[in-house]
Amino acid sequence: MQLKPVTAIAVLLLVVASLLVSGCTTSTTSNTNQTPSATTTSSATSSTATHAFLEKYLAYLKNQTANVSKVLEVTWINNTSARVDTTYRINVMVVEGGNYTGINYNSTYIVFPTTQDAINFLNAMNKTAYSIDKTPYPSGGGYRNVTGHQPMYYTLFRWHESIYRNYDISIEDNLIKIETITYVGRVD
């Protein structure tokens, strides 16, 4: 008669052990990348190839800054996004009441399959501290120089954290740019 409680406990232990083992062997993935990928299953290209539009855009940036004392470093995050670090050194520049000898731009560029995908990504971002900048798209902007036309959809969000640092998020059709702008070398 004491066999039933022992059997029940043994069965319960086996069930708990099997659940623990199955939980340990279940395949899980963790994405700790802070910059979300713009790649989707239907539009993904080879993992070794970079996005042709983004390559052209970054080449344009490099050519535009060739005549300015700067450092431009490109780090590909995946085939549809890249981080660009740029440092401009200048004599003196007045920005918001301060004089600076340089500007650092830390930018992440993400290209999406469609403008709607980029809008959805932008809408999902926390932009609480940002305000919309009413500046029109520059006539010589990178998107226009790469595609031959102005973007159909352009918006710039800006957050002035301090006189030393600004944050920008912009969308140019299917291209999102997330940027930190830091003014360095204050001289008064």
Q: Which pLDDT belongs to residue 184?
A: 79
Taking only the tens place, the pLDDT of each residue in 69-99 is: 566 788 999 999 999 988 877 665 666 666 6
Q: Any idea how long the chain is?
A: 188
Residue 173 domain flag? yes
CA angle (179, 66, 164) in 5-degree steps: 35
Residue 161 domain flag? yes
**Tokens 């406990």, residue?**
9
Sort 118 into a burial class: Cβ within 10 Å, 0-12 / 13-18 / 19+: buried
pTM: 0.68
Task: Look up residue 41 and give its amino acid.
Answer: T
Residue 39 domain flag? no
Residue 37 domain flag? no
Q: Which pLDDT belongs to residue 95?
A: 63
Identify the segments of the chain with pLDDT beneath 50: 6, 11-48
Q: Which pLDDT belongs to residue 38?
A: 38
Q: Which pLDDT belongs to residue 97?
A: 63
Closest CA to 170 of 147, 149, 141: 141
Residue 163 domain flag? yes
Q: Which pLDDT belongs to residue 68?
A: 60
Residue 133 domain flag? yes
- The number of CA neighbours under 13 Å toward the Cβ of 181 is 15
Residue 29 domain flag? no
- Residues 167, 108: Cα–Cα separation, whole Å: 12
Residue 82 domain flag? yes
Number of domains in the chain: 1
Task: Give the 3-state secondary structure of residue 72.
Answer: strand
Q: What is the DSSP string of 86-150?
A: EEEEEEEEEETTEEEEEEEEEEEEEE-SSHHHHHHHHHHS--TT-EEE-PPPPTT-HHHHHHSS-
| Residues spanned by the domain of 106 | 52-184
